[in-house]
């Protein structure tokens, strides 16, 4: 009896062993197959753009051309970024503009110094924590509060760019507006993407002036190739070119912004001309950390970008990350991302209003790193207890992908990484004097406390800046030289996009174009997210075997990257998922 039991057990053990061996063989075969397939699958659609002197990579070819024109005139990286940004306002109005805000990182080659600039929108003085609650004190839906005046924050882009120009500009301020003014007056061809996004959005939620600009009388979106003129924006830009920030923050433009916000037919807001006059852009300390002997610098609060990227990288870092797109690498990065996002969602908000604990404390990071197993997913991560952690509620704020990123390196080796936004596509859909206003205030938490009554760090408060995920980033080689300038749009997916690009360069030694085209994936403490067209990669089954729940979705990153080689040559990669272009000499 016993023998037979043993025999049965032995047979079972044998069977299990055989299955295991077969699985290992299959797993190795899959890995080998995956490697062969991966190399085919991930070869980019085009080669990176190369240059020896200067380069810009921006979200639209006309913007890249305007930036390059400034560089060729002897302009600085800051000049090129400002000129390109003004053109983006016109030709990529769904993503960014003077009605919104942004963050900019600047590297001065002469003194090897990094400056960080904060042009984030602010809540009006009348804003209160219950701004986005309904009559039953329940959070309203995002879709419900985005259109109209309530979601509009005081725009910060113009003030920030003026500050950057004062610090790092070479060409006259007014010159930087000429390409955009000329295009606004003479017209530009509507791009395929702009036309498609307008068709998808439909005319109904746009305020009247925006509807008349973007759609014909029957409500059909301007088709691709249609020459669209924007004389009102040309006039606005001319005023700012002549009067500087005062032309925007004081006088008629400010008055019209406040009127449009307050008199919006949908969700009227409470912004006053005084709120606009009071806006101040800030110089902030960049947040820097180490990864694989590199120094990586990015934007700190009110952005969660740099802290979450640096936490993810620090928690994923191993002597051997795993080869390109292996299950090991994706698992490690996703698990690290879960831990980092759990902390982000609890602790990061505008540091002028809340205390943010030291999320990069080395002891804390080692403790958190120990939570990662290489053989099984942790499922959902909880926020940790970093040193001096304040009592803070769990926050489920979501962000949308109406953002753009540009990277510049000038002939003196200075660099700019600029990420700017009007929040969701076409922002609040309210147009003033030719530009769209943002809906950035929906980046705040709609609830102000969690179920346990703990205050949510990212709750609405007067004059506060909503938490962002924008992550303009600079990477420095172990010897200290600038090595990479990058960033992306994508709401909170910006964070995994930038992580992917850094790992693609540092761990996998890929060129700038391959990096941006690699399949997008994310571990945001939800399911493992993978770009839908790569859902059938063998590695996905391996991740399932590690316990990951898989979610596929479109992930239209707009990663725009410059890599500076050790011999000084520049390599630019523009993301084909959007309409960006790299241009240089
Ligand atoms: N509105 C996008 C962001 O700030 O992350």
Quote the ligand 1 centre to 97 CA distance (angstroms): 13
- The confidence score (pLDDT) of residue 391 equals 85
- The confidence score (pLDDT) of residue 400 equals 63
Nearest atom (ligand 1) to Cα of 494: 5
- The confidence score (pLDDT) of residue 401 equals 63
CA atoms within 13 A on the CB side of 388: 8
Quote the ligand 1 centre to 539 CA distance (angstroms): 30
Nearest atom (ligand 1) to Cα of 101: 4
Quote the ligand 1 centre to 408 CA distance (angstroms): 21
| 42-86 confidence digits (pLDDT tens) | 789 999 999 999 999 999 999 999 999 999 999 999 999 999 999
Question: Residue with the nearest Cα to atom 3 of ligand 1?
Answer: 468
**Does ligand 1 have an atom closer than 6 angstroms to the CB of 443?**
yes
541-561 average pLDDT score:
96
Query: Are 140 and 134 in contact, with CB atoms under 8 Å apart?
Result: yes
Q: How far is residue 275's CA from residue 280's CA, in Å, rounded to a whole number? A: 10
**Does ligand 1 have an atom closer than 6 angstroms to the CB of 404?**
no
498-511 average pLDDT score:
97
Quote the ligand 1 centre to 397 CA distance (angstroms): 11
The residues carrying an active-site annotation are 403
**Does ligand 1 have an atom closer than 6 angstroms to the CB of 419?**
no
| 159-197 confidence digits (pLDDT tens) | 999 999 999 999 999 999 999 999 999 999 999 999 999
107-117 average pLDDT score:
98
Question: CB within 8 A of 12, min separation 6: which ones?
Answer: none
The pick from 155, 423, 498 for probing ligand 1's pocket by mutation, whose C-beta has the most ligand atoms within 8 angstroms, reads: 423
3-state SS, 267-308, equals: CCCCCCHHHHHCCCCEEECCEEEEECCEEEEECCCCECHHHH
DSSP three-state, residue 194 = helix
| 349-393 confidence digits (pLDDT tens) | 999 999 999 999 999 999 999 999 999 999 999 999 999 898 888
Quote the ligand 1 centre to 381 CA distance (angstroms): 23
Quote the ligand 1 centre to 11 CA distance (angstroms): 58
**Does ligand 1 have an atom closer than 6 angstroms to the CB of 300?**
no
The pick from 402, 470, 473 for probing ligand 1's pocket by mutation, whose C-beta has the most ligand atoms within 8 angstroms, reads: 470
Nearest atom (ligand 1) to Cα of 492: 5
**Per-residue pLDDT at 39 exceeds 60:** no
Question: Residue with the nearest Cα to atom 4 of ligand 1?
Answer: 468
CA angle 361, 364, 370 (to 5 degrees): 140
Q: How far is residue 467's CA from residue 445's CA, in Å, rounded to a whole number? A: 9
- Please report where in the chains the tokens 């309904």 appear, as a residue: 134
**Does ligand 1 have an atom closer than 6 angstroms to the CB of 298?**
no
**Does ligand 1 have an atom closer than 6 angstroms to the CB of 468?**
yes
Quote the ligand 1 centre to 231 CA distance (angstroms): 29
Quote the ligand 1 centre to 296 CA distance (angstroms): 20
Given its phi and psi angles, is residue 154 left (phi above 0), alpha (psi -120 to 50 degrees) or beta? beta
**Does ligand 1 have an atom closer than 6 angstroms to the CB of 397?**
no
**Does ligand 1 have an atom closer than 6 angstroms to the CB of 491?**
yes
Query: Are 99 and 151 in contact, with CB atoms under 8 Å apart?
Result: no
Quote the ligand 1 centre to 25 CA distance (angstroms): 45
| 476-493 confidence digits (pLDDT tens) | 999 999 999 999 999 999
**Per-residue pLDDT at 443 exceeds 80:** yes
Nearest atom (ligand 1) to Cα of 421: 1
Q: How far is residue 375's CA from residue 340's CA, in Å, rounded to a whole number? A: 19
Q: How many residues does the chain have?
A: 585
Question: CB within 8 A of 94, min separation 6: which ones?
Answer: 194, 197, 198, 402, 422, 425, 426
What's the whole-number average pLDDT of the chain?
92
Quote the ligand 1 centre to 285 CA distance (angstroms): 19
The pick from 104, 157, 491, 495 for probing ligand 1's pocket by mutation, whose C-beta has the most ligand atoms within 8 angstroms, reads: 491
**Does ligand 1 have an atom closer than 6 angstroms to the CB of 421?**
yes
3-state SS, 355-415, equals: CCCCCCCHHHHHHHHCCCCCCCCCCCCCCCCCCCCCCCCCCCCCCCCEEEEEEEECCCCCE
- The confidence score (pLDDT) of residue 15 equals 33
**Per-residue pLDDT at 26 exceeds 70:** no
Q: How far is residue 533's CA from residue 523's CA, in Å, rounded to a whole number? A: 18
The pick from 153, 468, 487, 490 for probing ligand 1's pocket by mutation, whose C-beta has the most ligand atoms within 8 angstroms, reads: 468
Nearest atom (ligand 1) to Cα of 443: 1
Query: Are 55 and 64 in contact, with CB atoms under 8 Å apart?
Result: no
216-230 average pLDDT score:
98
**Does ligand 1 have an atom closer than 6 angstroms to the CB of 399?**
yes
The single-letter DSSP state of residue 493 is: G
Question: Residue with the nearest Cα to atom 1 of ligand 1?
Answer: 423
Burial of 16 (0-12, 13-18, 19+ CB in 10 A): exposed
Q: How far is residue 296's CA from residue 286's CA, in Å, rounded to a whole number? A: 10
**Does ligand 1 have an atom closer than 6 angstroms to the CB of 469?**
yes
**Per-residue pLDDT at 281 exceeds 90:** yes
Cβ atoms within 10 Å, residue 453? 8
**Does ligand 1 have an atom closer than 6 angstroms to the CB of 427?**
no
**Per-residue pLDDT at 407 exceeds 70:** yes
- The confidence score (pLDDT) of residue 321 equals 87
| 295-322 confidence digits (pLDDT tens) | 999 999 999 999 999 999 999 999 888 8
**Does ligand 1 have an atom closer than 6 angstroms to the CB of 403?**
yes
- The confidence score (pLDDT) of residue 9 equals 33
The pick from 152, 399, 425, 465 for probing ligand 1's pocket by mutation, whose C-beta has the most ligand atoms within 8 angstroms, reads: 399
- The confidence score (pLDDT) of residue 319 equals 87
């Amino acid at each position: 009896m016993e023998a037979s039991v043993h025999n049965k057990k032995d047979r079972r053990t044998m069977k299990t062993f055989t299955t295991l061996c077969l699985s290992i063989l299959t797993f190795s075969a899959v890995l080998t197959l995956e490697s062969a397939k991966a190399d085919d699958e991930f070869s980019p659609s085009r080669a990176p753009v190369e240059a020896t002197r200067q380069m810009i990579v921006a979200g639209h070819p006309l913007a890249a051309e305007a930036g390059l024109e400034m560089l060729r005139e002897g302009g600085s990286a800051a000049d090129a970024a400002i000129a390109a940004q003004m053109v983006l306002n016109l030709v990529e109005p769904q993503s960014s503009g003077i009605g919104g805000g942004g963050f900019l990182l600047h590297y001065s080659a002469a003194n090897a110094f990094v400056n960080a600039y904060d042009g984030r929108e602010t809540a009006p003085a009348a804003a209160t924590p219950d701004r986005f609650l309904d009559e039953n004190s329940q959070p309203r839906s995002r879709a419900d509060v985005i259109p109209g005046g309530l979601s509009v924050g005081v725009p910060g882009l113009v003030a920030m760019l003026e500050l950057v120009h004062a610090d790092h500009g070479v060409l006259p301020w007014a010159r930087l507006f000429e390409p955009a003014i000329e295009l606004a007056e003479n017209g530009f061809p509507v791009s395929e993407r702009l036309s498609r996004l307008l068709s998808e959005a439909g005319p109904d939620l746009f305020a009247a002036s925006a509807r008349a600009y973007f759609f014909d009388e029957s409500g059909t979106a301007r088709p691709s190739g249609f020459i669209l003129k924007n004389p009102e924006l040309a006039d606005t830009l001319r005023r700012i070119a002549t009067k500087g920030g005062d032309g925007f923050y004081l006088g008629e433009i400010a008055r019209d912004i406040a009127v449009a916000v307050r008199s919006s037919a949908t969700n009227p807001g409470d912004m006053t001309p005084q709120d606009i006059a009071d806006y101040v852009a800030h110089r902030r300390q960049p947040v820097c950390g180490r990864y694989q002997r590199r120094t990586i610098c990015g934007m700190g609060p009110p952005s969660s970008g740099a802290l979450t990227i640096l936490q993810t990288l620090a928690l994923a870092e191993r002597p051997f990350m795993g080869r390109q797109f292996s299950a090991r690498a994706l698992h490690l990065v996703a698990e690290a991302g879960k831990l980092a996002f759990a902390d982000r969602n609890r602790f990061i908000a505008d540091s002028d209003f809340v205390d943010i604990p030291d999320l990069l404390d080395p002891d804390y990071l080692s403790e958190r790193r120990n939570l990662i197993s290489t053989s099984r997913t942790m499922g959902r991560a909880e926020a940790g207890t970093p040193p001096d952690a304040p009592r803070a509620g769990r926050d489920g704020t979501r962000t949308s992908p109406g953002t753009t990123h540009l990277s510049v390196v000038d002939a003196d080796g200075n660099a700019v990484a600029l990420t700017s936004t009007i929040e969701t596509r076409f922002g609040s859909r309210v147009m003033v004097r030719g530009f769209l206003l943002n809906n950035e205030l929906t980046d705040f938490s709609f609830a102000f406390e969690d179920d346990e009554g703990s205050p949510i760090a990212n709750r609405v408060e007067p004059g506060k800046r909503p938490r962002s995920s924008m992550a303009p980033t600079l990477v420095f080689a172990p010897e200290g030289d600038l090595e990479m300038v990058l960033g992306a749009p994508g709401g909170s997916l910006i964070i995994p996009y930038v992580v992917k690009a850094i790992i693609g360069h540092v761990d996998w030694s890929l060129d700038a174009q391959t990096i941006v085209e690699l399949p997008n994936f994310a571990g945001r403490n939800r399911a493992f997210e993978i770009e839908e067209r790569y859902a059938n990669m063998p590695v996905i089954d391996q991740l399932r075997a590690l316990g990951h729940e898989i979610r596929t979705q479109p992930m239209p990153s707009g990663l725009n990257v410059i890599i500076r080689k050790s011999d000084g040559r520049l390599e630019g990669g523009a993301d084909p998922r959007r309409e960006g272009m790299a241009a240089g000499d």
